[in-house]
């Protein structure tokens, strides 16, 4: 045993010190021969004979050296090194081939790792909380409707928290993030910061420990307690340069002093999970008693007790709330609770998109494999003589195959490395796309799981194209290959058939990708084309800070003054204000026609916008009937509202809503004075719900957004508008000047994300397919040079030759197209649910795909066809 180890070490040492050992052996052997010659001379032989006999009895010098090397070193490793060296040499010689193969592989693998990382982050990996599979999400109103519908009253939350037996812990946060938009003062000019209100036990329920300081304590979560905040890690770094001494210091938010009690860990990103695409600077405790009467204010999460399923919790909570409703008749939507896993709530609606994306990128990998096999086959054909020669010189088949495998391994390693670099770059880029409303996007990265996945697909790829190539080689007959000049020999023909089959499958795969991408792209264009009910271009919004001391009359005067000054800015066409913007955060109240009886359980929600005169114009909405608000609608005049067409249809069907009296908006009755067009309030893709507009002088707005419409690019007005606001109110924070376009972009960003990725993949697939067609056709042209030469010598014209080659191309493409179209028709149903206003059998998409692929195939075939038609018969017949 001891000897074995020592021997292994010695062998390794010998392997690493090849040259000095070889030299030593040379010297030793020379001495050996000298001794032998001397002895022979002493025996009386002539010098020449003495030398000859010495050499004879020594035997083969090279064999002895080889034996020596084998005995002392690591022969298997030597062979591998030899193969590798040879592989690199041949790959370097075929630079174009190598570059192409590595690039194709890198693109395919890179795209796969990137998509896997995204899928892994959003779908496979558990949420970044402790035992996150136990976390559940509670949604009211059967999980449908806007935020106000699905969120809960404080009393309901407390009822659940107090009595549940299936949930270990229940926590909540306020999902109306603009309730918690604050003005930070004391650090230079006033700054807008965002916070979110969370229940005191929020972090304990999710299992999060602060990076610094501590979590909220009981006294900070009750009425009259000391206001406290926990900073997000990013905000702590950005605003306070990661100063650890910040704990215990005061933070002035909206003129109130909050104590910084801790900093959250870097791994906790509230928005990534609960509010993708937004930013959140700090968290502060909900004082339940302050918001008890505000209605639906809370989003609720719970942690299941060990061994309890979501279904059991659902049954228990449904029963619990149904019993409690007896004493609380106004708990309407709250009672219709649906419990799902938190993960499902966060990314469940993305599952299908992600799976489609994953399949798409898998198709790319298949196309890449097919393409590489094709390239390798072409090369193997070109090298068949080399292999025949080597095997004639005594190389065994295993040795040749191992040489081939070494080459494909070297290639795929290079491709994988490059692809990995590519994936790291793309994932890093994606992780910094803060404005895309996709959950957990910021934590997308190439991690251990992605690396494992990479290894897996790399191995699969290598085996796949290595095998196909091996298949091509092993059929080669030695003598035939040496004789084969490439003109109609059986091996050549067999290769060509295999390659044609590969190209057909490549075209078919590209078909499926193109159809998928085409359908999604068409849906996306349809989404962009949707009549939003307002004009997002050439308008921008900015949050306005003002102090009315809670006096409605004063508020009217202040707002009127702001609007007058802003409208006087050159370039401003019109301006208006609203507390909420469409496609942004929303809130709903009840809306009912007075005197009408509604069936029990009927949905009477309406989205509410508290606006000033001029808002409709600024947003580019259309007044259908009646009049707009004016400054004569004051706190003391008649309460008025304007409704949208959806509200008119629901609450006054078949009637003229103008002049009718409505209930539910505020404490008293309100009169409908106008009807405006529907605005897409919560999603671009969903039709509008009933909407109500209330004058800012008659209701309490939640903050105020100034909307400015201009002829100039909106950004050009940013500084002048802010200056005007500052002149009126020095405390105006430097809030963001948001083009309304941004709201729409944010709303469609997930769809844009998926469409761009799938379109990229389809383009890649198209390029690869055309490369494949080009390769096969140009190879067959090169092989038939002589045949074409003879035909031309016999009178075939250049155009006949061209047509012949192009016809062959189109035959391949057509076969691929037919197969691909059939496959697409079968598979497109899988994406049907991802489409918007587009049939999964959309004729335009299929037509465009067929046209595009045939054009590309034609082009790919035209280049070699042209080359064929330029063949000079004399030259062609003389070569070879």
Determine the distance from the C-alpha atom of residue 592 to the mean position of all C-alpha atoms in its chain, rounded to a whole number: 43
Distance CA 398, CA 379 (A): 19
Pick one of 16, 31, 602, 661: the residue that binds another protein (CB under 8 A). 31
10 binds another protein (CB under 8 A): yes
242: phi then psi, degrees, rounded to nearest 5:
55, 40
485 binds another protein (CB under 8 A): no
Which residues face 737 on adjacent strands? 542
Near another protein in 11-30, by CB under 8 A: 11, 14, 24-25, 27-29
The label of the residue with tokens 């793309």 reads 426
- Smallest gap, in angstroms, from Cβ of residue 61 to another protein? 6
CA distances from 96 to 90, 92, 176, 238, 506 (A): 12, 9, 58, 48, 21
- Smallest gap, in angstroms, from Cβ of residue 804 to another protein? 55
Among residues 55 and 684, whose Cβ is nearest to another protein?
55
Among residues 37 and 748, whose Cβ is nearest to another protein?
37
Tokens matching residue 544 = 């306005």
- Smallest gap, in angstroms, from Cβ of residue 78 to another protein? 15
- Smallest gap, in angstroms, from Cβ of residue 44 to another protein? 17
> If you ran DSSP here, which 8-state letter would residue 194 be given?
E
Among residues 30 and 727, whose Cβ is nearest to another protein?
30
- Smallest gap, in angstroms, from Cβ of residue 75 to another protein? 12
Counting residues that bind another protein (by CB under 8 A) gives: 30
- Applying CB under 8 A, the span of 4-12, 102-110, 329-337, 750-758 interacting with another protein comes to 4-12
β-bridge pairing 605-611 and 212-213: unpaired
- Applying CB under 8 A, the span of 7-15, 82-90, 217-225, 327-335 interacting with another protein comes to 7-15
- Smallest gap, in angstroms, from Cβ of residue 85 to another protein? 24
561-577 in b/e burial notation, b at 16+ Cβ within 10 A?
Answer: ebbebbbeeeebebbbb
Give which of 392, 602, 353, 592 is closest to 482, Cα–Cα. 392
Distance CA 546, CA 731 (A): 8
Pick one of 17, 22, 23, 34: the residue that binds another protein (CB under 8 A). 34
Pick one of 17, 23, 35, 257: the residue that binds another protein (CB under 8 A). 35
Give which of 377, 318, 629 is closest to 503, Cα–Cα. 377
Burial of 448 (0-12, 13-18, 19+ CB in 10 A): exposed
Among residues 3 and 600, whose Cβ is nearest to another protein?
3
β-bridge pairing 539-544 and 704-710: antiparallel
705: phi then psi, degrees, rounded to nearest 5:
-105, 125
The secondary structure of 453-486 as a DSSP string is HHHHHHHHHHHHHHHHHHHHHHT--HHHHHH--S
- Applying CB under 8 A, the span of 60-68, 189-197, 688-696, 718-726 interacting with another protein comes to 60-68
Which residues face 802 on adjacent strands? none
Residue 707: its H or E element: strand 704-710
- Applying CB under 8 A, the span of 68-76, 107-115, 474-482, 858-866 interacting with another protein comes to 68-76
Among residues 27 and 794, whose Cβ is nearest to another protein?
27
Near another protein in 495-554, by CB under 8 A: none
Among residues 65 and 567, whose Cβ is nearest to another protein?
65
Q: Where are the alpha helices (DSSP H) in 432-577?
A: 448-474, 478-483, 490-528, 552-567
359 binds another protein (CB under 8 A): no
- Smallest gap, in angstroms, from Cβ of residue 509 to another protein? 48
Q: Is 555 helix (H, G, I), strand (E, B) or coil?
A: helix
* Interaction mask 373-412, another protein, x per CB under 8 A: ----------------------------------------
Pick one of 46, 61, 455, 727: the residue that binds another protein (CB under 8 A). 61
Distance CA 746, CA 528 (A): 12
Question: Would you mind telling me the total number of residues written for the chain in this entry?
Answer: 880
Pick one of 40, 72, 132, 283: the residue that binds another protein (CB under 8 A). 72
Near another protein in 241-270, by CB under 8 A: none
- Applying CB under 8 A, the span of 57-65, 581-589, 853-861, 868-876 interacting with another protein comes to 57-65
* Residue 313: CB atoms within 10 Å: 21
67 binds another protein (CB under 8 A): yes
β-bridge pairing 228-231 and 282-285: antiparallel
Pick one of 49, 58, 133, 293: the residue that binds another protein (CB under 8 A). 58
Among residues 396 and 653, whose Cβ is nearest to another protein?
396
Tokens matching residue 695 = 């004058």
- Smallest gap, in angstroms, from Cβ of residue 2 to another protein? 9
Which residues face 589 on adjacent strands? 606
Pick one of 41, 45, 64, 796: the residue that binds another protein (CB under 8 A). 64
Among residues 76 and 96, whose Cβ is nearest to another protein?
76
- Smallest gap, in angstroms, from Cβ of residue 762 to another protein? 56
- Smallest gap, in angstroms, from Cβ of residue 15 to another protein? 12
- Smallest gap, in angstroms, from Cβ of residue 403 to another protein? 23
> If you ran DSSP here, which 8-state letter would residue 136 be given?
E
Among residues 41 and 877, whose Cβ is nearest to another protein?
41
* Residue 842: CB atoms within 10 Å: 17
- Smallest gap, in angstroms, from Cβ of residue 390 to another protein? 22
6 binds another protein (CB under 8 A): yes
Among residues 35 and 187, whose Cβ is nearest to another protein?
35
> If you ran DSSP here, which 8-state letter would residue 11 be given?
H
Which residues fall within 8 angstroms of residue 688, CB to CB, at 6 or more apart? Answer: 533, 644, 646, 678, 679, 680, 681
Among residues 57 and 855, whose Cβ is nearest to another protein?
57
Among residues 56 and 241, whose Cβ is nearest to another protein?
56
Pick one of 19, 63, 479, 687: the residue that binds another protein (CB under 8 A). 63
Among residues 14 and 863, whose Cβ is nearest to another protein?
14
CA distances from 254 to 724, 731, 732 (A): 21, 10, 11
Pick one of 47, 60, 186, 396: the residue that binds another protein (CB under 8 A). 60
Among residues 6 and 561, whose Cβ is nearest to another protein?
6
Radius of gyration for the alpha carbons in the chain, expressed in angstroms and rounded: 38
Give which of 318, 474, 449 is closest to 388, Cα–Cα. 474
Asked if 127 contacts 205 with a C-beta cutoff of 8 angstroms, the reply is no
322 binds another protein (CB under 8 A): no
- Smallest gap, in angstroms, from Cβ of residue 38 to another protein? 7
Among residues 75 and 341, whose Cβ is nearest to another protein?
75
The secondary structure of 627-667 as a DSSP string is ----TTS-SSS--EEEEEHHHHHHHSTTS--TT-EEESSSS
Which residues fall within 8 angstroms of residue 847, CB to CB, at 6 or more apart? Answer: none
- Smallest gap, in angstroms, from Cβ of residue 401 to another protein? 21
Q: Where are the alpha helices (DSSP H) in 147-197?
A: 147-150, 154-163
71 binds another protein (CB under 8 A): yes
Among residues 41 and 623, whose Cβ is nearest to another protein?
41
Distance CA 670, CA 589 (A): 13
State the residues that interact with another protein by CB under 8 A: 3, 6-7, 10-11, 14, 24-25, 27-29, 31-32, 34-36, 38-39, 57-61, 63-64, 67-68, 70-72
């Amino acid at each position: 045993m001891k000897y074995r180890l020592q021997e292994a070490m010695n062998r390794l040492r010998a392997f690493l010190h090849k040259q000095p050992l070889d030299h030593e052996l040379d010297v030793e052997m020379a001495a050996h021969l000298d001794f032998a010659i001397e002895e022979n001379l002493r025996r009386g032989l002539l010098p020449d004979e003495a030398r000859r006999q010495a050499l004879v009895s020594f035997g083969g010098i090279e064999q002895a050296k080889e034996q020596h090397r084998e005995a002392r070193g690591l022969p298997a490793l030597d062979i591998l090194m030899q193969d590798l060296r040879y592989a690199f040499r041949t790959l370097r010689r075929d630079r174009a081939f190598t570059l192409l193969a590595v690039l194709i592989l890198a693109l395919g693998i890179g795209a796969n790792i990137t998509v896997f990382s995204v899928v892994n982050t959003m779908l496979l990996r558990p949420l970044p909380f402790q035992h996150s599979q136990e976390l559940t999400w509670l949604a009211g109103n059967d999980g449908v409707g806007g935020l106000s519908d699905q969120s809960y009253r404080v009393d309901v939350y407390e009822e659940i928290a107090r009595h549940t037996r299936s949930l270990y812990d229940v926590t909540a946060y306020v999902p109306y993030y603009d309730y918690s938009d604050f003005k930070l003062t004391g650090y230079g000019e006033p700054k807008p910061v965002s916070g979110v209100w969370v229940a005191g036990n929020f972090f304990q329920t999710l299992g999060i420990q602060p990076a610094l300081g501590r979590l909220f304590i009981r006294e900070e979560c009750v009425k009259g307690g000391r206001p406290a905040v926990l900073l997000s890690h990013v905000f702590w770094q950005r605003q306070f340069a990661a100063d650890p001494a910040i704990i215990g210091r005061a933070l002035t938010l909206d003129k109130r002093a909050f104590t910084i009690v801790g900093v959250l860990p870097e791994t906790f990103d509230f928005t990534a999970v609960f509010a993708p695409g937004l930013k959140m600077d700090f968290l502060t405790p909900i004082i339940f008693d302050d918001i008890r009467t505000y209605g639906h204010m809370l989003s609720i999460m719970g942690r299941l007790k060990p061994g309890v399923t979501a279904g059991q919790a659902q049954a228990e909570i449904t029963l619990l709330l149904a019993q409690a409703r007896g004493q609380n008749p106004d708990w309407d939507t709250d009672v219709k609770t649906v419990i799902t896993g938190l993960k499902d709530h966060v990314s469940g609606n993305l599952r299908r998109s992600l799976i489609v994306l994953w399949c798409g990128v898998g198709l790319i990998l298949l196309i890449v494999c097919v393409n590489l096999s094709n390239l390798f086959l072409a090369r193997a054909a070109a090298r068949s003589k080399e292999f025949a020669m080597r095997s004639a010189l005594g190389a065994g088949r295993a040795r040749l195959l191992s040489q081939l495998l070494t080459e494909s391994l070297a290639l795929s390693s290079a491709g994988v490395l490059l692809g990995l670099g590519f994936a790291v770059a793309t994932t890093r880029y994606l992780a910094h796309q803060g404005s895309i409303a996709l959950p957990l996007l910021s934590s997308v990265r190439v991690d251990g799981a992605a690396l494992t996945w990479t290894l897996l697909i790399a191995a699969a790829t290598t085996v796949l194209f290595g095998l196909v190539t091996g298949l091509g080689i092993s059929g080669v007959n030695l003598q035939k290959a040496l004789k084969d000049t490439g003109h109609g020999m059986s091996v050549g023909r067999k290769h060509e058939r295999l390659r044609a089959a590969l190209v057909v499958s490549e075209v078919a795969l590209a078909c499926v990708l193109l159809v998928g991408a085409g359908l999604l792209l068409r849906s996306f264009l349809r989404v962009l084309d949707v009549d939003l009910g307002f004009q997002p271009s050439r308008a921008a919004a900015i949050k306005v800070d003002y102090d009315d001391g809670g006096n409605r009359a004063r508020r009217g005067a202040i707002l009127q003054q702001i609007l007058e000054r802003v409208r006087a800015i050159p370039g401003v066409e019109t301006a208006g204000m609203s507390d909420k913007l469409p496609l942004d955060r929303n809130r709903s109240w009840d809306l009912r026609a007075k005197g009408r009886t509604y069936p029990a359980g009927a949905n009477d929600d309406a989205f509410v916008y508290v606006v000033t005169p001029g808002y409709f114009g600024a947003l580019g909405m259309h007044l259908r009937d009646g009049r707009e608000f004016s400054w004569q609608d004051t706190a003391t005049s008649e309460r008025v509202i304007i409704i949208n067409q959806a509200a008119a249809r629901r609450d006054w069907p078949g009637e003229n809503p103008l002049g009718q009296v409505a209930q539910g908006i505020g404490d008293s009755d309100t009169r409908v004075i106008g009807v405006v067009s529907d605005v897409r309030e919560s999603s671009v893709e969903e039709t509008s719900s009933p909407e109500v507009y209330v004058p800012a002088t008659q209701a309490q707005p939640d903050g105020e957004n100034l909307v400015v419409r201009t002829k100039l690019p909106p950004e050009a007005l940013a500084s002048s508008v802010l200056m005007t606001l500052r002149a009126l109110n020095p405390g105006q924070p430097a809030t963001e000047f948001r083009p309304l376009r941004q709201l729409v972009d944010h709303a469609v960003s997930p769809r844009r994300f998926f469409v761009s990725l799938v379109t990229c993949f389809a383009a890649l697939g198209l390029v690869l397919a055309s490369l494949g067609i080009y390769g096969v056709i140009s190879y067959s042209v090169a092989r038939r040079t002589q045949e074409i030469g003879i035909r031309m010598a016999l009178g075939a014209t250049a155009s006949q030759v061209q047509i012949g080659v192009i016809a062959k191309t189109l035959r391949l493409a057509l076969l691929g197209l037919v197969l691909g179209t059939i496959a697409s028709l079968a598979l497109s149903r899988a994406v049907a649910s991802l489409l918007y206003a587009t049939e999964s059998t959309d004729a335009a998409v299929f037509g465009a795909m067929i046209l595009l692929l045939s054009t590309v195939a034609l082009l790919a075939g035209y280049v070699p066809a042209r080359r064929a038609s330029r063949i000079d018969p004399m030259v062609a017949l003389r070569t070879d």
